[in-house]
Amino acid sequence: MKNCSNSIAKTVIIHDNVIIEDGVIIHDYVVLYPGTILKKGVEVFDHCVIGKMPVASGNLARSLKSSYGQTTVGENSILCPGVILYAGIEIGDHVLLGDHCSIREECKIGSNCIIGRSTNINYATTIGNDTKIMDSCIITGNMTIGNHVFMGANVITTNDNSMGRNGYDEGGIRGPVIHDGARIGAAANILPSIVVGENAVVGAGSVVTKHVAAGALVMGVPAKEVSKSN
């Protein structure tokens, strides 16, 4: 459904069952798949794909669903060129998605977030409000990131200690949990199921193999606690 107050380039492909609210701007060569909802004031730049269904060639350990529901982009959010949003995603209001970032199915991103260029967010991950994730980060599947979290560029998170040897165990494949206010330095690596407490700080380049207490500063390979705020 299109509204006359919108600006939609002639090269945009709009499938059935797409809702576009007032004041939306869509640039050239964008594809909107069924179930896409663009809220008021959204701007989508060139070559974005929204509502894409995941596919597998038969060798994916994790089973895919036949349907993932709607993909919603909240009010006044901006999708920079080349963003890929899979089906079943919820993006909050006033979110900026940088060039060529990719967000997999069933993710939820809160309002007032920034997701940097070329960052990949895997399936079923939840990100709170006012969180900033810088360029080229790898955010693994089944991960939780709280509110007011900062992640520097090139942070890597993982969710499988067996590195694929044991197939896909729904209960055992878990990414880290990053609590509110935590700050993760550039190029840090955080291993599966690690919990980073509120307002904790992980130094740049650290490899985090153990839980990080609230307010702690950890750094190194492997990361060790060097101080803790009261």
Please give the Cα distance from 122 to 143 (Å, whole number). Answer: 9
CA atoms within 13 A on the CB side of 218: 28
Residue 203 makes CB contacts below 8 A (sequence gap 6+) with 185, 188, 217, 218, 219, 220, 223
pLDDT in the model for residue 229? 80
Please give the Cα distance from 20 to 40 (Å, whole number). Answer: 8
Give me the residues of the chain with pLDDT under 70, please: 1-4, 230
CB atoms within 10 A of CB 18: 20
Tallying the residues shown for the chain, one arrives at 230
pLDDT in the model for residue 162? 77
pLDDT in the model for residue 216? 98
Burial of 105 by CB count in 10 Å (0-12 exposed, 13-18 middle, 19+ buried)?
buried
pLDDT in the model for residue 230? 65
CB 220 within 8 A of CB 204: no
Q: Tokens 């977030």 belong to which residue?
A: 113
The amino acid sitting at 53 is M
pLDDT in the model for residue 4? 56
6 SS3 class: coil
The amino acid sitting at 173 is I
Assigned token pair, 117: 């260029």
Domains of the chain, earliest start first:
1-54+67-118 (2.160.10.10), 134-230 (2.160.10.10)
Q: Which of 159, 132, 155 is nearest to 203 (CA)?
A: 155
